Structure 1
Amino acid sequence: MNKLKLGTCAAALIAGVILMSAGAQAHELSGKHAREGLKCVDCHKVDKPVSAATPDACMECHGDYGKVAALTKSLHANPHDSHLGQLACTKCHGIHKPSEIVCLECHSEFEFKLK
């Protein structure tokens, strides 16, 4: 991946970390990716996808899971360094559907915000 695309992807990740309250309406990330010039094939590896992109596809731009966990290490409970292990990105982050915070299915005391 060239440095320009990597920089664009890094900027998209940082922009994607804009926090919203846990109770607020979650939003789709597809618009952010489109604004960065990404096309379906960039993540799905096919022109007409029929299934979700893989976590490996996400990590091509967003780095490895450890780097993602480092970005959220200052949170009260780091959702990317969870007792559940390395979840598929799409478990929480909706690209074409609203995002959901899986941790809140059991933990009501966390105040996570999705970007």
Structure 2
Amino acid sequence: MGKKFFVSLSLLAVLGAGMSLPSAQALGATIKGKHASEGLGCADCHKTDKPTAAAGVEVCLDCHGGYDKVAALTRAMHNNPHDSHLGKMQCLKCHRVHAPSEILCLECHSDFEFKDK
């Protein structure tokens, strides 16, 4: 009885740990969370504290230095999502403001690995 209970409990713990891992297509960070940790608020990108629409990609690129600089910053990644065969993409294709970011590459390249910072 004791051994079966221990094995069952161990199995449940292992399965539960696996269920708490992030999905293959989502990372935990949000733009809002990352920017807030840097002391930025909505008005820094949207020019208002109560935005009704996404800021344009040009706002992202102004602060982050443009597509080429972003690609250079992530060049050490084995699969650089900022230098892909899809070319220069809108930032919000992957990065989310109020939800975990999703990696568009993983829709086709399920074997790629990306780590959340």
Please give the TM-score of this superposition, normalised by the length of structure 2: 0.70
1:31-110 matches, cutoff 5 A: 31-110=33-112
Q: Any conservation in 1 of the 2:67–2:88 contact (CA below 8 Å)?
A: yes
Give, as a single letter, the amino acid of the residue that structure 1 aligns with 2:49: D
**Percent sequence identity over aligned pairs:** 62
CA offset digits 1:67-107 (Å, max 9, x no partner): 00001111112110111111111111112111000000000
Rg larger in structure: 2
Give, as a single letter, the amino acid of the residue that structure 2 aligns with 1:82: S
- Secondary structure of the equivalent of 2:75? coil
Please give the TM-score of this superposition, normalised by the length of structure 1: 0.71
1:10-21 matches, cutoff 5 A: none
Q: Any conservation in 1 of the 2:71–2:80 contact (CA below 8 Å)?
A: yes
Structure 1 runs not aligned, ≥5 long: 1-19
**Equivalent-residue separation in structure 2 for 1:38 and 1:56 (angstroms):** 17
**Equivalent-residue separation in structure 2 for 1:114 and 1:42 (angstroms):** 24
**Equivalent-residue separation in structure 2 for 1:25 and 1:39 (angstroms):** 21
Q: Any conservation in 2 of the 1:99–1:114 contact (CA below 8 Å)?
A: no
**Equivalent-residue separation in structure 1 for 2:31 and 2:87 (angstroms):** 23
